[in-house]
């Protein structure tokens, strides 16, 4: 697991929720600017710097509100900084991953902001396979039980995070609406 971020930052964040869906521009009830300030303070406490490029990549992820592929981030960076190259974005993402400010969603090869910038220890990510929305579950007992079952089966986790694939409520509603529309069209014939 990634280690908790300093207590000074934890005091500035809101209390943890059981599950939190990512809202564009907000990280766990904190505004985008406050989230960027928290990230900057956290990096300074670690003796590192949230450079303008790293900050911009984090900001783009905050704005997206869902898991975003590196090349999509690169396209957005090129609109702001025309000379941006893939290594620029990948280096920024590597830093943000190491700092625990973002997650890499292996199943869709994308990145998302950690919903709780003060204590990135959720470990269970639910990823919508249709829209890329990510929900972090803060269920330590559930995670421990799941890890124990995995180890009992003879496996060792390759990363700290566990990804579950699913269909978010918005995509379920859109799917149901489409199905209802199709059924109505067939019935009208």
**Which residue ranges are tagged as binding site?**
122, 128, 131, 168, 171
Cα 33 from chain centroid (whole Å): 17
Nearest to 110 by CA among 53, 60, 156: 60
| Amino acid 100: pLDDT | 87
186: left (phi over 0), alpha (psi -120 to 50) or beta: alpha
Three-class secondary structure of residue 158 per DSSP: coil
**Which residue ranges are tagged as binding site for Zn(2+)?**
128, 131, 168, 171
With 0-12 CB in 10 A as exposed, 13-18 as middle and 19+ as buried, what is 16?
Answer: middle
Domains of the chain (ranges, CATH numbers): 7-188 (1.10.10.10)
**Which residue ranges are tagged as binding site for Fe cation?**
122
Q: Is the dihedral of CA 88, 6, 9, 145 positive or negative?
A: positive
Give the predicted TM-score (pTM) of the model: 0.74
What pLDDT digit, counting tens, does each position of 18-72 carry?
344 444 444 555 688 999 999 999 999 989 999 999 999 999 999 988 899 999 9
pLDDT value at 16 more than 80: no
For residues 119 and 183, give the distance between their C-alpha atoms in angstroms, rounded to a whole number.
Answer: 47
What pLDDT digit, counting tens, does each position of 134-181 carry?
888 888 898 889 999 999 999 998 877 889 999 999 999 999 999 888
| Amino acid 8: pLDDT | 40
H-run or E-run covering 21: strand 19-21
């Amino acid at each position: 697991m990634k280690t908790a971020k300093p207590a000074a930052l934890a005091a500035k964040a809101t209390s943890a929720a059981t599950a939190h869906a990512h809202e564009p521009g907000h990280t766990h009830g904190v505004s985008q600017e406050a989230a960027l300030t928290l990230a900057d303070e956290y990096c300074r406490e670690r003796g590192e710097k949230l450079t303008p490029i790293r900050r911009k990549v984090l900001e783009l992820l905050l704005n997206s509100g869902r898991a975003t592929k590196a090349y999509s981030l690169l396209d957005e960076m090129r609109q702001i900084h025309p000379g941006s190259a893939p290594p620029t974005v990948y280096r920024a993402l590597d830093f943000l991953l190491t700092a625990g400010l973002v997650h890499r969603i292996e199943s869709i090869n994308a990145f998302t902001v950690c919903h709780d910038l003060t204590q990135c220890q959720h470990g269970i990510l639910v990823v919508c396979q249709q829209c890329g929305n990510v929900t972090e579950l803060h269920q330590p007992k559930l995670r421990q039980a799941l890890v124990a079952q995995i180890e009992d089966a003879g496996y060792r986790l390759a990363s700290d995070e566990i990804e579950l694939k699913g269909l978010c409520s918005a995509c379920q509603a859109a799917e149901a609406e489409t199905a209802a529309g199709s059924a109505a069209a067939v019935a009208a014939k």
